[in-house]
Amino acid sequence: MIPGVRLVLLGKQGSGKGTQAVRLARHFVVHHVSTGDMFRAAVRAGTEFGRKAREYMDSGELVPDEVTIGIVKERLEQAGTKRRGFVLDGFPRNVAQAQALSDYLAPQDIHLVIDLEVATEVVLKRLAARRVCSSCGTNYSVDVPPAVNWTCDVCDGEVVQRADDTETAIRRRLEIYQKNTAPLVAWYKDRDHLDVVCGEGPPDEVTSRLIDTIDRRREAGV
């Protein structure tokens, strides 16, 4: 069997990070761990925690670190992520979260952090067109809608625009992303964990680029 991987995928909202994370998790047979998906599931379930998370999410702000770090650790405890690995999507978002992840994994470490790079004008266009299943979270767009009437192909749920995909919230999230991620990228670069991969072009090409990058890193013995 193909060896597993402990991978962190960074990228602005709309960079295609979520789609690529799912594909990479399938390819390397590891878990896809998306904090955004976990928070949205809590919101849908209507839990007390979901109600609190929603206030941050709707305004594009980050959910507080201690809550986020707790939920990620709990998820990583499950289902063999320590043995085969994971693709982390949306976490860490700042240096404090990265440090907590590193402490949690010790004496192991992540293999690689990939920054999926896409120009801001491209992501603004993609986000305005993005639609998502309100039930299972599958992504669509106005250009690639579900087969029938905004009904999800996977689960028959209603396909809608995300509450935080309004222009104001998108700009706020991009601003926050920029502010928090620049130090995070520097932090991982210092530890020689970082590779930058171009996220523009057809999704299949981007996936091949990502897999090549990961395989090359592994061949180099990281």
- Residues assigned a catalytic role: 17, 93, 130, 162, 173
Q: Which of 9, 16, 25, 36 binds ligand AMP (CB under 6 A)?
A: 36
Stretch that binds ligand AMP, among 1-9, 24-32, 60-68, 196-204 (CB under 6 A): 60-68
Q: From 177, 6, 171, 191, select the one nearest 86 (Cα to Cα).
A: 6
Rounded to whole angstroms, how far apart are CA atoms 18 and 13?
A: 9
The two three-digit tokens of residue 221, written as one number: 């013995």
Distances (CA, A) of 208 to 81, 166, 201, 204: 24, 31, 11, 6
Contact 60, 54 (CB under 8 A): no
Binding mask 199-218 for ligand AMP (x = CB under 6 A): --------------------
Confirm or reject binding of residue 81 to ligand AMP (CB under 6 A): no
Find the binding residues for ligand AMP in span 121-180 (CB under 6 A). Answer: 164, 173
Rounded to whole angstroms, how far apart are CA atoms 11 and 6?
A: 17
Confirm or reject binding of residue 20 to ligand AMP (CB under 6 A): no
Stretch that binds ligand AMP, among 57-65, 119-127, 151-159, 208-216 (CB under 6 A): 57-65
Starting at the edge strand found earlier in the chain, the sheet holding 85-89 runs: 31-34, 85-89, 5-10, 112-117, 194-198
Rounded to whole angstroms, how far apart are CA atoms 159 and 154?
A: 11
Tell the smallest beta-carbon distance from residue 59 to ligand AMP (Å). Answer: 8
Q: Which of 20, 68, 81, 181 binds ligand AMP (CB under 6 A)?
A: 68
User: Would you tell me which residues interact with ligand AMP (CB under 6 A)?
Assistant: 13, 35-36, 39, 56-57, 60-63, 68, 90-91, 93, 97, 164, 173
